[in-house]
Amino acid sequence: MAEFTMELNDEQKEVRDWIHGFAADVVRPAAAEWDEREETPWPVIQEAAKIGLYSLDFYAQQFFDPTGLGIPMTMEELFWGDAGIALSIVGTGLAAVGVLANGTEEQIGTWVPQMYGDANDVKVAAFCSSEPDAGSDVASMRTRAVYDEAKDEWVLNGTKTWATNGGIANVHVVVAVVDPELGSKGHASFIVPPNTPGLSQGQKFKKHGIRASHTAEVVLEDVRVPGHCLLGGKGKLDERLARAREKAKAGGERVKNAAMATFEASRPAVGAMAVGTARAAYEEALEYATTREQFGRPIIDNQGVAFQLADMRTQIDAARLLVWRASWMATTGKPFTSAEGSMSKLFASETAKKVTAQAIQILGGNGFTREYPVERMHRDAAIYTIFEGTSEIQRLVIARTLSGMPIR
């Protein structure tokens, strides 16, 4: 088991610097354009694919880094470049994690490569869980999956929302209800292969931030998928449902569902995204404060500015510590006994909102214009306290974990 350390090894430093170079040289120069266009930056994704940054092999290497720091390091550097473009590059990863967390070895080997394609034919994937009436309240999910035993097919009907790459994805991973009586315990995840009839894109959302990332509804109308597209297989599902029914009879409480397994695995990574955005805004503010002069001296000479920058840096470093701890714990199999994953996501996302707002304040009127990137960073940072569990949900998870009480 790898010991926890804040010191990257030489190989990790080399990878970090490589990603940072791509973020600085390719992502940042394109950030403002794709934010304005509000379109998926396919040319940038293709450039990432050409150098191996957008590939199954690269993310597998980082995912299986024994220290647990590969993924958060990658996320921080990419999102330091630009959150919208970075999310277009890494958005496929959430669907891939869904398969890795719940699928068989055969399913992983079959479907994850198809999520990425290759440098000559780039593909993306989508993880579809949230619904118009069921975001954090996963027990209210209405999308149904009914098994047609005669044909060994599952029939999916419903509407998903807030799906990154929804509708434009090559592969969709869809969470659906298979046993309504079990609430959130009666869910399962399904692969919807490319060009499956009945799946279509609904509304594409025009967003406040991360505008280079495609977000849309996914409509499922009598979508039929083969039995082998049920992640984990039917035998495993039947066993899990049987245990859930027994626990329900006995008054048991906790059975993990497929969507929650994916979110638990990804929350520290979202925290790392937030750290990257916060760090970018801090660096812009620091450079501005040391070069902008008022009353004959740099504005950083004023305590009001200097103390803000001190707080910003302290909060960013604290957020990174929480993210790295949670990532290391997840990789080394240590349980989140105090909801450390949710802690990392909560603190890092709140830090990103606060730091980007402070950066605008330090830049003054310039910070409020699109001539400077901190305005975009602040808009982007708003998503971190919302997606993959709002800050309120993170606090609820932490409180319930610490108290053992069903706080509502």
Question: How far is Cα 51 from Cα 119, in angstroms, rounded to an integer?
Answer: 8
* Beta bridge partners of residue 293, listed in sequence order: 298
Whether 388 is catalytic is yes
The candidate with the shortest Cα–Cα distance to 164, out of 221, 84, 109, is 84
The three-point CA angle 33-35-39 to 5° equals 90
Of these residues, 47, 217, 340, 388, which one is catalytic?
A: 388
10 Å Cβ neighbour count for 352? 33
Long-range CB pairs of 76-79, under 8 A, 24+ apart, other chains included: 76/272, 76/273, 76/275, 76/276, 76/279, 76/320, 77/16, 77/19, 77/20, 77/23, 77/276, 78/19, 78/22, 78/23, 78/27, 78/276, 79/272, 79/273, 79/274, 79/275, 79/276, 79/277, 79/280
3-state SS, residue 376 = helix
What are the structure tokens assigned to 327, written together?
Answer: 């990532």
Question: What DSSP designation does 173 have?
Answer: E
The candidate with the shortest Cα–Cα distance to 159, out of 223, 229, 94, 95, is 223
Question: How far is Cα 154 from Cα 152, in angstroms, rounded to an integer?
Answer: 7
The candidate with the shortest Cα–Cα distance to 389, out of 98, 83, 137, is 137
Cβ neighbours for 43, distance < 8 A, ≥ 6 positions apart = 30
10 Å Cβ neighbour count for 294? 11
Type of residue found at 261: A
The candidate with the shortest Cα–Cα distance to 140, out of 149, 129, 154, is 129
Question: How far is Cα 351 from Cα 372, in angstroms, rounded to an integer?
Answer: 20
Question: What DSSP designation does 3 have?
Answer: P
Catalytic residue numbers, as ranges = 388
